[in-house]
Amino acid sequence: MTVLDIRPVEEVPKLLEAIAKVSIGFSVPEIWTHRKKMVARF
């Protein structure tokens, strides 16, 4: 299982963009949703 597996499909492009921008130091926190086995979102 990867980080892409627990994200809703519509958030994957946003996640990949955020990963590409990772830098040293602090960043502005973002709110992310997760999928569970039953496809419920949290």
Q: What is the pTM of this model?
A: 0.60
- Per-residue model confidence (pLDDT) at position 42: 52
The answer for residues whose C-beta is within 8 angstroms of residue 5's C-beta and 6 or more apart is 35
- Please give the torsion angle defined by the CA atoms of residues 9, 11, 12 and 13, in that order, rounded to the nearest 10 degrees: 130
Return d(Cα 9, Cα 37) in angstroms, integer.
Answer: 14
Phi–psi pair at 21, nearest 5 degrees = -95, 5
Q: What is the per-residue pLDDT across 1-42, written as a single tens digit (0 to 9) for each? A: 888 888 888 889 998 988 888 777 777 777 777 777 765 555
pLDDT at 13: 93
27 bridge partner residues: none
